[in-house]
Amino acid sequence: MKLLAFTERPDHVCFRYRIAAFEEALADHGWSLEAVPLARRSLPRVRQLKRAGRADAVILQRKLLPFWQLRILRKSAKTLIYDFDDAVFHRDSYHPKGIRSRQRLAHFWATIYAADAVLAGNSHLRDEAARYVPAEHVHLFPTCLDPQRYRLAVHRRQASDAKLVWIGQRSTLPSLYQAEPQLASAASAVGGLELRVVSDAFPTLSGVAIAPRPWSAATEAAELADADIGVSWLPGDAWSLGKCGLKVLQFMAAGLPVVANAVGAHRQMVIHGETGFLANSADEWAQAIARLADNPALRARFGAAGRRLVEERYSVASQSAELLDVLNRLVLPAAMQSAGPQPRAAEARS
C-alpha cells in the first residue's frame, strides 16, 4: 500500500518528525511512503493533486489549500488525512495583522470537513478540530522523535560552569527575545552562565552570554547532550496553544531538565519538580536555574525522568500503532469495497 504525503518541503521539521520518522514502521506493515513538496505555482500543483489517486492514502500536512485546489484533491484522493501541529486557523504571534483570521479559519474548516481523518498534534488542536467535525474523525497524534538518536547528557558541571541551551529556527527567535528578562535574571543569579543557541540565526540578549551553535541535523543531538539545562518560552496567546513542544521533547530525550513558562504544551510536557520547573517571573526563572545549576544530581534525576516520559508518550515506537490504526481503518475497508463482493468459502472451493 502506498502513502503519499503532500508537504511544504521534504526537509521541513514537521514532516521529518511527524511523518518521515515513521517510515520504517510503515514499511514493516506493508506501507511505502512518498513525500511530494507542493509546488508553489498553480498549474504544477494541480498536476500533483490530480495524481493523488495513485496512492491508497494521502496525507496533506499543515497546508491550507485554496478551495478549488482542495476540491481537486478531495476528488482525486481515495483516502484523505489532514495532519497539523500548529494553530493554522490563526496567524502567528508576531503577525502585524494580529492572530485572528476569518479566512484561515474558513480554509481550516473546509480542509478538515473534506478529510476522512484529522491528526492533531496536541489536545488543544484536537479539541479545536472537533468543534467542526465529529470527534471520532479527529485523532490526537503528538509530535514524536526517536530517543535512541539522542545521547544522554552527563551532568558534572556545577554552578557558573552549567550551560543553558535553546534550539530552534530563526522564525522562533522572537520567543527567545520575550524571555530576555527571565534569562538575564538567571544570569545575574548564576554568574558566568552561558546560553548556547542552536539555530540558523543568533540573538543578542542584554545581560546574557550567547554561545552560537550553527544547527545541522548531524550535530543537533550532540549539541544538546553537551549542555546541562534546556530552556523554552512561549507567548501567552492563542497561537502558542497550538505549539507541540518539539524543543522540550529534544531536551528531555537528551536527558536535560527543562525550565519553561507555564503555557500550552509546556504544561503537559514539563512535570514540575519531576522533569524540570515551570516558571513565569524573572525571580522564578532565576531560582529554578540556580537550583539546577548548583545540583548535578538533581539535573540527572530530572533528565532521566524526562527521557522516560519521551519513551513512553512521545516516541516513534509508542505512537506508530496509532498512525497505522488510522490508516488501516480507513484504507482496508475501502479496498475491500472497491474489490467488490467476495465469493463465499463454498463457492470459492467449487
Name the segment(s) of the chain with CATH classification 3.40.50.12030.
2-144+317-338
Q: Does domain 2-144+317-338 have CATH number 3.40.50.12030?
A: yes
* H/E stretch holding 82: strand 80-84
- C-beta atoms surrounding 297 within 10 Å: 8
What are the beta bridge partners of residue 199?
A: 214
**Smallest Cα–Cα separation from 193: which of 172, 176, 210?**
210
Q: Which three cell numbers stand for residue 33?
A: 511512503
Q: What is the pLDDT of residue 344?
A: 39
Which 3 state secondary structure label does DSSP give 164?
strand
DSSP tag of 226: T
130 pLDDT exceeds 80? yes
- Residue 154 is which amino acid? V
Average confidence (pLDDT) over 96-118: 96
In this structure, the number of other CB atoms found within 10 A of the CB of residue 259 comes to: 29
Select from 115, 101, 122, 87 the least CA-distant residue to 235: 87
**Residue 349 predicted with pLDDT over 50:** no
**What tens digit of pLDDT does each residue of 3-55 get?**
999 999 878 889 999 999 999 999 999 999 999 999 999 999 999 999 999 99
Give every strand in the sheet of 80-84, ordered side by side: 32-37, 2-7, 57-61, 80-84, 117-120, 138-140
Q: In whole angstroms, what is the distance from residue 79 CA to residue 319 CA?
A: 21
45-83: per-residue pLDDT in tens?
999 999 999 999 999 999 999 999 999 999 999 999 999
For 83-99, letters b (16+ CB in 10 Å) and e give bbbbbbbbbbbeeeeeb
The C-alpha cell that represents 44 in the structure block: 504544477
Q: For CATH 3.40.50.2000, list the domain ranges present in the chain.
A: 147-313
pLDDT of residue 127: 97
CB 160 within 8 A of CB 193: yes
Tens of pLDDT, residue by residue over 166-192, are 999 998 999 999 999 999 999 999 988
Superfamily of structural domain 147-313: Glycogen Phosphorylase B; (3.40.50.2000)
Report d(CA 224, CA 215) in Å as an integer. 11
Give residue 334's pLDDT band: very low, low, confident or very high (50, 70, 90): low
| pLDDT computed for residue 348 by the predictor | 37
- HSE-CB at 345 with a 13 A cutoff on CA atoms is 0
Q: Give the span between the Cα atoms of 153 and 226, in whole angstroms.
A: 6
At 347 the pLDDT is 41
Percentage of the chain exceeding pLDDT 70: 95
Q: Which residues contact 30 (CB under 8 A, 6 or more apart)?
A: 1
- Output the CA torsion 28→18→244→194 (10° steps): 100
Least confident of 95-99, 155-159, 253-257, 341-345: 341-345
Question: Which of 256, 273, 281, 274 is CA-nearest to residue 162?
Answer: 256
**Do 215 and 200 form a contact (C-beta atoms < 8 A)?**
yes
pTM for the whole structure: 0.91
